[in-house]
Structure 1
């Protein structure tokens, strides 16, 4: 413990600020642009952890490694490299445990849960979220707890359990009201969970319920005002362009559920403009799927036909270069 550190405090501060910068770039530009840079930085930090370090320095390095590994996993998930993403998430969990950071561990588990929902495995998603909630119930901030409730709602929605989904949505909304009121500084990794993100997650829960319930108009009508609010808030935020695109696509799917194809194409066209700027296979895949659904159900609508042609022209389906 008395051995002098090879790393100065400014150097550690720089490592942490660089991780925050990478996270910001991911939100703005998608996972494809900076993924290799994040992986390279992660290798640098893990190399430092192979050397003897004083306890406090090692703890900060493990926390930094956990955040970088989570971000590398998230970026890999975003560009469609699912097995690679899972490996990074597991590494991130181990590093967070070594750092003794339970809230960070819960955040990593929530990212893993999102991936499970994406892969059509809501039971596994729910198990991961419950593990995250159990592990951080006495130390996570209100913002983090609200995020976990929102993800719990997504899992229940995809499992076709409306009453439990609605309860989790209410818990997310109620808990979010306390965010920031305790005066405690929050880690950078939870800063993304804004009012816009809360509305987006809850709206997607209702939208998912609608699909699971056989395109229920009741759940689609629940989703619409919440998704409208998310789109409005993300539209005022230049930092989270990928989330803006995903919620525009989500709103487009809600209009398809309500059999309003013209309104859907307006939103999908706005999402297409953003998709061309961000490198996110997740955005591209969801946009293609939404337009394909519109073409299948409303192929005789002129606006849908024009959008289908525009999508094939401006966003051709090619392998992601990573």
Structure 2
């Protein structure tokens, strides 16, 4: 019976072989007990995630979960699915090894993030990874075969982004080019079209979420890597690497948005390599900021802070004021999640001052398109959520909620009049709902969350859906007898059912 991606076997084929001595898996048991899930619920979660990722051949049940707890080692991709599910449940990175499960063999394109900082390897890895995502993954299934990297294993390789070569000759575009191929020089209109296509993809993501156009972005990235393997002039090569970096960042962001966290991290890392080859440090700092955002999402604010400081240091002389303001706002988010209110407030103040200065001097420096998302609305959203996060990490509920509410209110007002950023509008409605919940205002909390439900139905974003479900659950648990909250619960079940598949 086939065990490949196209096979028709059930999950019962994934267990350890007969006759293998097994000991109870105490690590998996510990995470399982703390999760509050029953064996049947965990089995349903695994099956649901497998369907979302296209692994329709996986079908597990309660008895199989019991055998995992008893020490049976499931085969790929089950360990990766369990890692992703427990990571989301606890809000932190829970690796396969943390669960007492054996890691699976990985190909060079899926193994690790500590990659050689040379142009040929960067192109080859981007080409291989994007091809695998398109051809082997079957609706993004590749994301289930990867592992997240965190801590020193993540931060230290990223620090090499700024290190110069130690005297050796680094490979150039001429080394990448396939031998004996006729040079195909890209014209200026062709290059401009590639660059404008990236801008179009970015707009689609803001309007519709990461689940609608992710494959198109990955396909475009693969095409650009093909062009990078042809002979090009140095300037054309730099522009192509910049396009590859922007597409890689966008593929990573879309993967993050639909819950493919390991795949997102891999694309971010490859995009950072491309930005280095493009000699574009501000773009590299933007990619690092998204890696930091992902680490905050996964409960690793210490890693996020290191990545943000690396981004700030690397682009301090080249980034525009708007980019610097964005980095300070992300620094504030990291400090908030580290329960450091003094440093958080200082970073918020600098972000607001830097943004104001950049706005006053508009026209003196040209912002790249990728930072265009960081508007006044986004500034208020980031800073408002930093103060909201401080409520949970540092206490002083009344003070921090009072700082959060007007900023998120302003973000909601601005995003509400914006026809291009539906996801951001919904996320800030949810953020405002949590602030009202903190202030013990259930009717207002339900109203804001209810407004977000209608938007979430139109946006392909698993991140948005998960955040909305979590917030609604919190409101219902705290104020389940309030009529407005009961109506919110019913609307959530009707309009955004739990078992909807995410397109990737």
TM-score (ref. length: structure 2): 0.63
Aligned residue number for residue 218 of structure 2? 39
Q: Provide runs of 4+ in structure 1 moved above 4 Å.
A: none
Matched, 1:285 2:466: yes
Aligned residue number for residue 262 of structure 1? 443
Residue 5 of structure 1: how far off its partner (Å): 5.2
Aligned residue number for residue 134 of structure 2? none
**What do the CA deviations read for 1:266-289 (whole angstroms, capped 9, x no partner)?**
111111110000101111011101
Q: Secondary structure at the match of 2:358?
A: coil
Aligned residue number for residue 502 of structure 2? 320
Q: Secondary structure at the match of 1:107?
A: helix
Aligned residue number for residue 195 of structure 1? 376
Aligned residue number for residue 159 of structure 1? 338
Q: Distance in 1 between matches of 2:194 and 2:442?
A: 48
| Equivalent residues of 2:211, 2:461 under 8 A apart | yes
**What do the CA deviations read for 1:134-156 (whole angstroms, capped 9, x no partner)?**
00001100000000000000000
Of 265, 271, 277, the match for 1:92: 271
Segment drifting more, 20-29 vs 207-216: 207-216
Residue 321 of structure 1: how far off its partner (Å): 2.9
Residue 214 of structure 1: how far off its partner (Å): 4.3
Aligned residue number for residue 475 of structure 2? 294
TM-score (ref. length: structure 1): 0.98
Q: Distance in 2 between matches of 1:320 and 1:142?
A: 37
Residue 237 of structure 1: how far off its partner (Å): 0.6
Aligned residue number for residue 217 of structure 1? 398
Q: Distance in 2 between matches of 1:221 and 1:242?
A: 24
Structure 1 unaligned blocks of 5 or more: none
Q: Quick one: higher RCO (CA 8 Å, sep 6+), 1 or 2? A: 1
Q: Distance in 1 between matches of 2:412 and 2:498?
A: 26
Residue 217 of structure 1: how far off its partner (Å): 2.1
Of 50, 64, 69, the match for 2:229: 50
Q: Secondary structure at the match of 1:321?
A: coil
Q: How does 1:64-143 map to 2 (within 5 A)?
A: 64-143=243-322
Greater CA radius of gyration, 1 or 2? 2
| Equivalent residues of 1:215, 1:257 under 8 A apart | no
Aligned residue number for residue 352 of structure 2? 173
Structure 2 unaligned blocks of 5 or more: 1-172, 174-181
Segment drifting more, 31-40 vs 211-220: 211-220
Q: Distance in 1 between matches of 2:486 and 2:300?
A: 33
